Structure 1
Amino acid sequence: MGHLVTVAAAQLNQWALDFKGNTERIIESCRIAKEKGATLRCGPELEITGYGCLDHFLEADLFMHSWECLATILLHDSCQDMILDIGMPVMHRNVRYNCRILCYNKQILLIRPKLWLANDGNYREMRYFTPWSRPQHVESYYLPRSIRAITGNTKVPFGDAVISTPDTCIGAETCEELFTPNAPHIQMSLNGVEIITNSSGSHHELRKLNTRLNLIQEATRKSGGIYIYTNHSGCDGDRLLYDGSALILINGDIVAQGSQFSLLDVEVITATCDLEEVRSFRFAPSRGLQAVQAPSYERIETEFSLSAETAPLDQSVRPTSPIEPRIHLPEEEIAFGPACWLWDYLRRCGVAGYMLALSGGIDSCATATIVFSMCRLVIQAIKDENEQVIKDCRRICAIEEGSDWLPSTPEELCAKIFHTAYMGTEKNSSKETRSRASELSKRIGAYHSDLNIDTVVKSLTDLFTYVTKFSPRFRAHGGTNAENLALQNIQARLRMVIIYLFAQLLPTVRQRPGGGSLLVLGSANVDECLRGYLTKYDCSSADINPIGGISKTDLKRFIAWARTNFDLPILEDFLNATPTAELEPISETYVQSDEADMGMTYDELSVFGRLRKVSKLGPYGMFTHLVPVWTHLTPRQVYEKVRRFYYFYAINRHKMTTMTPAYHAEQYSPDDNRFDLRPFLYPSFTWAWEKIEGVLGRYEKGKEGKEGKEEKEE
């Protein structure tokens, strides 16, 4: 007969340092898993503390509170009669480890430390933890007194071991370990481990899920076995959104998948798998020969069986059928990822809503549309009777206690929590951008303010003239480049001051109960940040920025998608408009254009960004890579574009040290906070340019020789 086991993967919206809330969500996930008949429950990495505690992991208090929370979990009725795999930090012999606690019925079976730590990109685990660099080694861990009182044991195994039950064998792999070339699941599978859990803290990045899915499928496609992948969901207090997508697989087939973007605080997926399928899958003689040579793991024995001793009488209990994975389009990822991130910030920071400087351009339009998407998700969650969302929504909207009011449409919610302002000038702003901003705000229901800032700008320039006896002029009026830039920047910086004034006082103006203030949203995209095409401390300086890690190209694709899917025909006007800052006077012969100002297109900026960050190329490497790729340009034109990019990148790098915390969505993000660590005072790239010019000379000389030869032949 088959040996059927039901396993559960929990994806939780944890909050860094929210020990009480995190513990409650863990217990709730255990209750749901148990209700669904699971005998093994796996949760996310460092789920007790939250993954994003950062330097708080260096504090002894955090380790003490983790044990206190684990004690609450061990004692809870919902956490009995199944094996639990729980993530938390543990200090062993004065060394900090990122660990998994495998337990059953108030007993800790094994503490399994992480072998390979994530230490690139957004991750700095080796700043806080030490890897357990002793594979298959186990020693004793002496439990805290509070845990001894519960378990009755003084010490438990600590190290790289597996759990042996009467019917199967369970091994644990943690996040980064799956992505390493010699992943632990390979040796564990060869050693007879049939169920592997993976507790993860993996963030959302555009187009990343497919890569993750492929790697997880490969974990059992060759070796066979049941693989349980869990992940955090939501924002736990930083720039990242953990995008769930928990998975359960058997022999390379996906049998259960969690949602990628959800407002659920607790989501549990389960699947019933047949252990006999694993055993028959592992029939190959070559696998058997490798298994004989594989290093052995110490087996920690427990008398609890995951499968029933006899075949179930209920014929409806059968193995879960394979499913096709669900993968969102990049446009959908932009619609839902930052929206979930914004909702978590809004419900956890205690403000009255969001404030946005809406310019009539595509960046602020995309930001507003993402807020509208957030409202759509909230309304759907209300319709689905999500109690936590309903509670949060009433509190954010300042609904009086006892009232049963709830918004019924996204527009109705937007009217309560979203505020926009168009801040123009008489000579520099067009009626088209003003109209687009007004129409979009009206369509999505936002509270909109329309104002001109000429008098404020004039007051400051008059002050400067009074003090210096010098009157700056725009370039169009005969001024120098320095004057022209200064007059643009004063407008941009004043918009930042004004938008914060409105953010603090609009709730009072609208007679919102309890007053409060609004969080200001930034709207600078990743390409503008990379190029530095923005004013330092202008209206890109805000509280948080949902599009700061998204390219202009992807934002346009998102707007085109939202035009249809959100029924917002006004977005067509934004798509057709020329990107412009509107900081210089408009005339019959001149309208300021972003791409003309930058000397490169947004598509080209994306290419430069990927080559600089993802491919890790300097100026010389970038030039030699692009010459055979950009065949529509001559080698000299490629050189001029690369040189222009690196010049402006270098002189504007300092701006990224002060940029608004942005939602991380792109691998080439220039975010100066942990992700892209580079100097902000650069020398000129003289050596690189001389080397490139040497190569360029050979290109052009070779071309002239070839053309001369062809002329002679004619």
Structure 2
Amino acid sequence: MGRKVTLATCSINQWALDFDGNITRILKSIEIAKSKGAKYRLGPELEICGYGCADHFYESDTLLHCFQVLKELLDSPVTQDIICDVGMPVMHHNVRYNCRVIFLNKKILLIRPKMLLANDGNNREFRWFSPLSRPRHVEEYFLPRMIQDVTGQGTVPFGDAVLSTTDTCIGTEICVELWNPRSPHVDMGLDGVEIFTNSSASYHQLRKADHRVNLVKSATIKSGGIYLFANQKGCDGDRLYYDGCAMIAINGDIVGQGTQFSLEDVEVITATLDLEDVRSYRGERCHPYLEYEYKPSYRVKVDFSLSESQDIYFPSHEPIEWQFHTPEEEISLGPACWLWDYLRRSGQAGFLLPLSGGVDSSSTACIVFSMCHLVCEAVRNGNTQVLKDVQQVVNNCTYTPEDPKELCGRLFTTCYMASENSSEDTRNRAKELAAQIGSTHISLNIDMAVKGILGIFYMVTGKKPEFRANGGSSRENLALQNVQARVRMILAYLFAQLSLWAQGRLGGLLVLGSANVDECLTGYFTKYDCSSADINPIGGVSKTDLKSFLQYCVARFQLTALRSVMAAPPTAELEPLMDGQVSQTDESDMGMTYSELSVIGRLRKISKCGPYSMFCKLIHMWKEACSPSQVATKVKHFFQMYSVNRHKMTTVTPAYHAENYSPDDNRFDLRPFLYNTQWSWQFRCIDSQVSKMEAENDPNLQYAHN
């Protein structure tokens, strides 16, 4: 009997309800795994139907089609002589479970339901599934007739069990079970399980990858063992981007690392590892009978060996150092991969972006340019699927992209929409950046459209609104700004639909939004303005991170035009200029800086702070810069802005999820959109605390009190 095993784990770009595409990619991953000598192949969570099916999980069609795909997998010659571990929903006793189905040579070995469900952040698994509530318990599952016809089995084990092959023992975790304080791998390791597998659908978030890697390392450093981590990749049809990072670890060391951002639809990571290394590591660490009352796992015996009888000459994989991306690289790569998936699957011919020459729209333009770099690089590396996709997008079956700038000109249209309130500086910055990235650039003036709309208002009411700078009221000033912003949205969609038609080309363009997460937090944008778009790649990224990202782009892509973009103060340019210069700035309008907003956003969402608890934290965090009364003013101002504008979140453009303080109303940040904006009770508590603190710091008030 041998001692070395070759194992495979995958990152696969599955798409919700794309059963044809999903089975093709699953079979390809198994084929690659077998070609590398693997005897066990692990795939991502719910890979047969796609993780993002949401309320489609309620439909009997989804369950039916999953079993139809499973039947084809069982019957395929590709899946023979290798243990295949695939994910799909299964209904047992009229209850839906998120399951792993593990099979070998046309026989289902085990259906293992998820025992701990993800119900935080963007996850709502309790909406569609139930957790298996009985650990180490196994029941009979009666197979559908279509599966019985292939396997010859009437029932198979269903529950929390492990597989005992002739040479080792394999146990399964599913995604969030690794994150739980009582992860199943702990008890399984004490029970002698040597190989742990985890199928995940873990989405990208800035600065998150190290947490995932550390969990996998920790799972095996405590009690030894081999850990396989598989993950979904790509845009599954929603705001999330699943970033791969498949990995293999042994005894606390990473020995196999998959890419985090890639345009490859199928990536397979394999490693050959020595089981005796696990046994030696555990020799002095694991004494389960001394730990607590011991209850062994239910074992499914499998007459199959993962090792070869003569494997002494097989080299084992050595530990490697994990290579992490910087946050700037993550912004460059994650949203770019997400945009590419969205574009190629949407059937559209490219993107259109209202480019103002500011940090936000310039960042969006740079992400599209990064996408073009990734596409050209993938084609150079022989990725035939990317080549096929780009040829379909540009409607030219002979086209081969070589230069990112040239490809950008085919896929990307930028549009500067000037008004009488626009400065020459912003026009030039937009034009210069467009020239450097190669986008098809349009420059137009919206004054005629704005005057036409205001003319209709004047005809009906006999009133002509004026800007505040010209003696108008705040209501007039805001309305005049909003007209300009909304006209830009209308023109963006008009040009997105017809600009290619005007050139004699086929297809339409997807409109890109460019509101950052901090502006969304306060609602500092016009509802249904040019922030209203089809998708927004930076809607989950903070202004602070975007500025760092632009500095990265100057060095990475030599986009020198970005220097003037970063040097200019952020402005909406919706109010009249003063001596030809911008008089309106974003931070002045919002009443706080972008860095302050980032802190407030994290306290509100991550730390779960209301007005009073936020004030209590900020008086310490900002004590060097602000007095308690100044902190109180900022907190109250934020919550008033937030509550007044919260309704805008119900219509905000679907945005790439990148920050865990995102105010996205879709399913990440579930809060009301109609508030009592006075916050009277909460603000009284703050005022009372400020009065006490001021009294404690004023000797005269202290004396009077005494």
Shift of residue 74 of structure 1?
Answer: 1.1
Matched, 1:547 2:541: no
Matched, 1:185 2:204: no
The equivalences for 1:383-394 within 5 A come to 383-394=380-391
Structure-2-length-normalised TM-score:
0.98
1:351 pairs with one of 348, 352, 365: 348
Matched, 1:139 2:139: yes
> Is the contact made by 1:118 and 1:124 (CA closer than 8 Å) also made in structure 2?
yes
The equivalences for 1:565-644 within 5 A come to 565-588=556-579, 591-631=583-623, 632-644=625-637
C-alpha distance in structure 2 between counterparts of 1:290 and 1:31, whole Å: 44
Shift of residue 548 of structure 1?
Answer: 0.4
Shift of residue 113 of structure 1?
Answer: 0.2
Matched, 1:375 2:369: no
Shift of residue 328 of structure 1?
Answer: 0.5
The equivalences for 1:495-510 within 5 A come to 495-510=488-503
Identity rate, percent: 57
C-alpha distance in structure 2 between counterparts of 1:203 and 1:36, whole Å: 28
The equivalences for 1:432-471 within 5 A come to 432-471=425-464
Aligned to 2:644: 651
> Is the contact made by 1:2 and 1:275 (CA closer than 8 Å) also made in structure 2?
no
Shift of residue 148 of structure 1?
Answer: 0.6
C-alpha distance in structure 2 between counterparts of 1:294 and 1:105, whole Å: 34
Change (3 A) 1:309 1:358: same
Structure 1: gaps of 5 or more residues? 710-714
SS in structure 1 opposite 2:621? coil
The equivalences for 1:91-490 within 5 A come to 91-284=91-284, 287-290=287-290, 293-312=293-312, 315=313, 317-399=314-396, 401=397, 403=398, 405-426=399-420, 428-490=421-483
Shift of residue 294 of structure 1?
Answer: 2.8
SS in structure 2 opposite 1:569? coil
Shift of residue 311 of structure 1?
Answer: 3.4
Shift of residue 463 of structure 1?
Answer: 1.3
Aligned to 2:83: 83
C-alpha distance in structure 1 between counterparts of 2:636 and 2:214, whole Å: 38
C-alpha distance in structure 1 between counterparts of 2:349 and 2:482, whole Å: 30
Aligned to 2:668: 675
C-alpha distance in structure 2 between counterparts of 1:29 and 1:225, whole Å: 24
SS in structure 2 opposite 1:627? helix
Shift of residue 287 of structure 1?
Answer: 3.1
SS in structure 2 opposite 1:232? strand
Shift of residue 292 of structure 1?
Answer: 7.3
> Is the contact made by 1:422 and 1:451 (CA closer than 8 Å) also made in structure 2?
yes
Matched, 1:44 2:44: yes
CA deviation profile, 1:571-598 (whole Å, cap 9, x unmatched): 1111101100000001038611000111
Aligned to 2:509: 518
C-alpha distance in structure 2 between counterparts of 1:27 and 1:417, whole Å: 32
C-alpha distance in structure 2 between counterparts of 1:285 and 1:75, whole Å: 43
SS in structure 2 opposite 1:99? strand
CA deviation profile, 1:302-333 (whole Å, cap 9, x unmatched): 11000112334xx3x21100001121100000
Change (3 A) 1:611 1:14: same
1:199 maps to a residue whose letter is S
C-alpha distance in structure 1 between counterparts of 2:152 and 2:311, whole Å: 35
2:116 maps to a residue whose letter is W
2:259 maps to a residue whose letter is S
SS in structure 1 opposite 2:529? coil
SS in structure 1 opposite 2:415? strand
Matched, 1:703 2:700: no
Structure-1-length-normalised TM-score:
0.97
1:601 maps to a residue whose letter is T
Q: Number of residue pairs matched?
A: 700
Shift of residue 218 of structure 1?
Answer: 0.7
C-alpha distance in structure 2 between counterparts of 1:16 and 1:440, whole Å: 36
Shift of residue 291 of structure 1?
Answer: 6.2
C-alpha distance in structure 1 between counterparts of 2:261 and 2:285, whole Å: 43
CA deviation profile, 1:441-496 (whole Å, cap 9, x unmatched): 11111011001111110111111111111110000000000000000000000000
Shift of residue 275 of structure 1?
Answer: 0.4
Aligned to 2:686: 692
> Is the contact made by 2:110 and 2:300 (CA closer than 8 Å) also made in structure 1?
yes
C-alpha distance in structure 2 between counterparts of 1:288 and 1:123, whole Å: 34
Cα RMSD after superposing both structures: 1.3
Matched, 1:561 2:552: yes
SS in structure 2 opposite 1:81? coil
1:128 maps to a residue whose letter is W
C-alpha distance in structure 2 between counterparts of 1:464 and 1:685, whole Å: 36
CA deviation profile, 1:410-457 (whole Å, cap 9, x unmatched): 11111111001000112x100010001111111111011001111110
1:535 pairs with one of 502, 507, 526: 526
CA deviation profile, 1:353-407 (whole Å, cap 9, x unmatched): 00000011110000000000000000000100100000001110111x4x3x212
2:186 maps to a residue whose letter is I
> Is the contact made by 1:191 and 1:291 (CA closer than 8 Å) also made in structure 2?
no
C-alpha distance in structure 1 between counterparts of 2:62 and 2:286, whole Å: 47
> Is the contact made by 1:627 and 1:638 (CA closer than 8 Å) also made in structure 2?
yes
CA deviation profile, 1:81-129 (whole Å, cap 9, x unmatched): 1111111110111110000011111110000000000011100001100
> Is the contact made by 2:2 and 2:310 (CA closer than 8 Å) also made in structure 1?
no
C-alpha distance in structure 1 between counterparts of 2:26 and 2:434, whole Å: 40
Aligned to 2:16: 16
1:420 maps to a residue whose letter is T
1:409 maps to a residue whose letter is D
C-alpha distance in structure 1 between counterparts of 2:422 and 2:557, whole Å: 28
> Is the contact made by 2:695 and 2:702 (CA closer than 8 Å) also made in structure 1?
no
Shift of residue 511 of structure 1?
Answer: 1.5
SS in structure 1 opposite 2:620? coil
1:66 maps to a residue whose letter is C
C-alpha distance in structure 2 between counterparts of 1:481 and 1:21, whole Å: 55
> Is the contact made by 1:40 and 1:306 (CA closer than 8 Å) also made in structure 2?
yes
Matched, 1:492 2:485: yes
C-alpha distance in structure 1 between counterparts of 2:114 and 2:466, whole Å: 62
1:556 maps to a residue whose letter is K
Shift of residue 147 of structure 1?
Answer: 0.8
C-alpha distance in structure 2 between counterparts of 1:540 and 1:362, whole Å: 14
Structure 2: gaps of 5 or more residues? none
> Is the contact made by 1:361 and 1:579 (CA closer than 8 Å) also made in structure 2?
yes
1:630 maps to a residue whose letter is W
> Is the contact made by 2:191 and 2:288 (CA closer than 8 Å) also made in structure 1?
no
C-alpha distance in structure 2 between counterparts of 1:266 and 1:590, whole Å: 50
> Is the contact made by 2:335 and 2:656 (CA closer than 8 Å) also made in structure 1?
yes
SS in structure 1 opposite 2:592? coil
Query: Comparing 680-689 with 525-534, which one deviates more in the overlay?
Result: 680-689
